[in-house]
Amino acid sequence: MRRTVIAIVVVVAAIGGAWLLLGRPGGAPTATPDPSIAPVPPSTEVVADGRVVPSRYAELGAAVPGTISEVLVAEGDDVTAGTVLVRLDGAAAQAEVDAATAAVAAADAGVAGAKAGVTQAGASVDTAEAAVDQAVAGVERARAARDALPSSASSAQERGADAEIDAARAALAGAQANLRGARAGATAAAAAETAARAEVDRAKAGLAAAESGLAQLEIGAPFAGTVASLDARVGERAGPGIVLVRVAATTGWRIETTDLDETTVARVAVGAPVTITFDGLPDARVDGTVESVALFGASVQGDVVYRAIVTPASVPEGLRWNMTATVTVKTGG
């Protein structure tokens, strides 16, 4: 009997413990929040790496393959827009320009000759038309002379008058044939002039192409700035895709982010304030503003990266192109 009572007490104690652990029947365990642990607030900033670039710059190379014959500047030189920086060997291209120039001169001479032919053909037409007019007048005179014969004229006189009319008609036919030939010559002369002018156009187009080819052998500054880097050496080969000269307008600088990924780019707004620090200038810390955020993300080593452009409010002394920077963007939470 005593063992039974003890068993009942143990069962009741087990049920009571389960009730304390699980809560009310049918309910789930509840956790009581610890008031001493504060919730973590959302981040109010985005940090990204960046690099320093001029506000305006150009990376220049040769438009066509060739051998570098002249390097006309040095690193650090200030240049104006259009200044020739590097020139490739242009002997072959210059020969083409010379040949094309000669072709244009020959074509111009052809036009002058054709115009002279047109003038001469026109004069021949005028002469032939005058001859026709004279021949018509001769026929009319012969007819008038035949009509003026008296009724008493002999048969010989009549035959003579008729012969004069026939001769005048023959002269008229010859004059008319000459006129047709002169007019055909004038048409041919005009066609020759048209062809000569077309040849001039072709020759000038060839000259323009040759001059363009020669111009492509010169690398010029697209705007006023400073030669930031120069990788051109006389005698070396150059070609498209190889950067020979970098020109920077160092009147202003900007920071381009290099690792702003898709998980944070949505929190970066144009116009947002930023703080910029530079690895190479540890004492410099400047404020700035987000100028733009790219809409397109580029794949970089398997990550999608968006470029943001930041404009610094001031430029620390010693800032250089391609220095690395850390950009801290205030997001407002």
> What does the pLDDT read at residue 216?
83
Taking the C-alpha atoms of residue 326 and residue 256, their distance in angstroms, rounded to an integer, is: 10
pLDDT at 34 over 50: yes
Question: Contact at 8 Å (CB) between 49 and 258?
Answer: yes
DSSP 253-294: EEEEES-EETTTGGG--TT-EEEEEETTEEEEEEEEEEEEE-
pLDDT band, very low/low/confident/very high, at 41 (cuts 50, 70, 90): low
The four Cα atoms 295, 301, 303, 304 give a dihedral, to 10 degrees, of: 10
Q: What is the pTM of this model?
A: 0.52
pLDDT at 114 over 60: yes
Name all domains of the chain by residue range, CATH numbers in brackets: 45-89+222-330 (2.40.30.170), 92-215 (1.10.287)
pLDDT at 62 over 70: yes
Taking the C-alpha atoms of residue 15 and residue 231, their distance in angstroms, rounded to an integer, is: 87
Taking the C-alpha atoms of residue 328 and residue 49, their distance in angstroms, rounded to an integer, is: 9
Q: What is the pLDDT of residues 78-87, one digit of tens each?
A: 999 999 999 9
Share of the chain above pLDDT 90, in %: 65
Taking the C-alpha atoms of residue 283 and residue 302, their distance in angstroms, rounded to an integer, is: 34
Taking the C-alpha atoms of residue 280 and residue 145, their distance in angstroms, rounded to an integer, is: 118
Taking the C-alpha atoms of residue 196 and residue 112, their distance in angstroms, rounded to an integer, is: 9
**Bigger pLDDT: 272 or 1?**
272
Q: What is the pLDDT of residues 187-231, one digit of tens each?
A: 999 999 999 999 999 999 998 988 887 788 899 999 999 999 999
Measured CA to CA in angstroms, residue 157 lies from 146, 149, 162, 267, 291 at distances of 9, 8, 9, 122, 113
> What does the pLDDT read at residue 332?
73
**What would the mean pLDDT of 288-312 be, rounded to a whole number?**
93
Question: Rounded to the nearest 5 degrees, what angle is found at the Cα of 28, between the Cα atoms of 25 and 33?
Answer: 130
DSSP 205-238: HHHHHHHHHHHTTEEE-SSSEEEEEE---TT-EE
> What does the pLDDT read at residue 10?
41
> What does the pLDDT read at residue 9?
40
Identify the CA nearest to 93 among candidates 234, 201, 212: 212
Residue 66, token pair as written in the block: 């060739």
pLDDT at 316 over 70: yes
> What does the pLDDT read at residue 13?
45
pLDDT at 3 over 70: no
> What does the pLDDT read at residue 68?
93
pLDDT at 17 over 60: no
Which residues make beta-bridge pairs with 292?
309
Angle between helices 91-147 and 155-215 (to 10 degrees): 170
Task: Look at the block and give the residue holding tokens 């607030």.
Answer: 41
- For the beta carbon of residue 20, count every other beta carbon within 10 angstroms: 8
Per 3-state DSSP, the chain is made up of helix, strand and coil in percentages (nearest 5) of 45, 30, 30
pLDDT at 88 over 50: yes
**What would the mean pLDDT of 131-157 be, rounded to a whole number?**
90
**What would the mean pLDDT of 159-180 be, rounded to a whole number?**
91
Q: Specify whether the backbone of 206 is left (phi greater than 0), alpha (psi in -120 to 50) or beta.
A: alpha
Tell me 301's DSSP state. T
